Amino acid sequence: MQVRLYELRKERGLTQAQMGNFLNISEASYRSKELDQTDFKLSEVFKIAKLFEKDIGYIFTERTSRKVE
């Protein structure tokens, strides 16, 4: 799970559906990526970092991810 991404999304009051719309992907696809079941595209990573005004490394590092089964 992308823990820091989840926390940033919640702090902004954004839903997974809204994030999917922002990235032009489905809610299910976004959910799968946030849960670390599939990878974000590089272009999506840059868009997310810009949205939250954070460095990519701050949001997407191994220390901020954990597997959810």
Over the stretch 17-59, which tens digit does the pLDDT of each residue have?
Answer: 999 999 999 999 999 999 989 999 999 999 999 999 999 999 9
- Indicate the pTM of the whole model: 0.87
Angle at 21 between CA 52 and CA 29, to 5 degrees: 95
Q: What pLDDT is attached to residue 54?
A: 97
Residue 7, CA distances (Å) to 2, 59 in order: 9, 10
Q: What pLDDT is attached to residue 64?
A: 52
Q: Which residues contact residue 43 at a Cβ distance below 8 angstroms, ignoring those fewer than 6 apart?
A: none
**Structure-token match 């220390």, residue found:** 63
CATH number of 3-59: 1.10.260.40
In the chain, where the domains are located: 3-59
CB 49 within 8 A of CB 55: yes
